[in-house]
Chain A
Amino acid sequence: QVQLRESGPGLVRPSETLSLICTVSGGSITSSRSFWAWIRQPPGKGLEWVGIISPGGSTYSNSSFNSRLTMSVDTSKNQFSLRLSSVTATDTAVYYCARRVVNYFDFWGQGTLVTVSS
């Protein structure tokens, strides 16, 4: 069974860059049909898709993030990562990584809370 785990700082200062890593276990990040996604959930609110990356490094992101979002994949470590620049308090959320097959997300990490505050 595929498992995902998010890691990274729980506190980020306003205007700085939020960086998270997702480690995949129980399966290869290069497996066919699998893309890898970031989804976030502000406290007490709903889910918001952030972006997605293929094992080859092709990325697709929510247009609301414009150029603030960078994603990458490290197949040697079975990891993928997210960087969100110029953060504000509205970026405070639980960030989930997940596997996408076809058009849905079948395996999710436990989530990590990132708070943007000075």
Chain B
Amino acid sequence: NFMLTQPHSVSESPGKTITISCTGSSGSIASNYVQWYQQRPGSAPIIVIYEDDQRPSGVPDRFSGSIDRSSNSASLTISGLKTEDEADYYCQSYGSDNYVFGTGTRVSVL
């Protein structure tokens, strides 16, 4: 079964930049679009990146997405970290006839 693996947690100071990876277990991650969702405690997820690198209206341009075919991974970069960015982040794609979510990354802004 197709799986997406993310680092368990990332911590950084306000104003800094972080990058969260999302690695596909098989095939090419570039075969299907990758999305990224932010989930604050007690809330439903909201989409912050769709179709690899597209930002929905209302999402700050501090959030950006990319694909690295050489490592079969996608990445979410958050620049100028703010305390409000503290949340869980999930990547999502499609494979093996399933919509697949990544394992999730807890972002802490120290």
Report which A residues bind B (CB closer than 8 A). Answer: 37, 39, 46-49, 52, 60, 62-63, 96, 100, 102-106, 108-111
Is B101 at the interface (CB under 8 A from chain A)? yes
Main secondary structure of the interface of B (DSSP, over half): strand
**A62 and B32 contacting across the interface, CB-CB below 8 Å:** no
Q: State which residues 40-68 of B face A: CB under 8 Å.
A: 43-47, 50-51, 56
B93, closest chain A residue (CB): A103
Which of B43, B46, B51, B98 interacts with A63 by CB under 8 Å? B98
Task: Please give the number of chain B residues whose Cβ is less than 8 angstroms from any Cβ of chain A in the complex.
Answer: 24
Contact status A47-B90, CB under 8 Å: yes
Residues of B within 8 A of A106 (CB): 47, 50, 56
Inter-chain contact B44/A109, CB cutoff 8 Å: yes
Which of these, A46, A49, A108, contacts B99 with CB under 8 Å? A49
Q: Is the CB of A103 within 8 A of B44?
A: no
* Residues in B neighbouring A63, C-beta threshold 8 A: 97-98
18 new A-B contacts at CB < 8 Å, known A62-B98, A96-B45, A104-B50: A46-B101, A46-B104, A47-B45, A47-B104, A49-B101, A63-B97, A63-B98, A96-B44, A103-B32, A103-B99, A104-B35, A104-B51, A105-B35, A105-B92, A108-B44, A108-B45, A108-B46, A111-B44
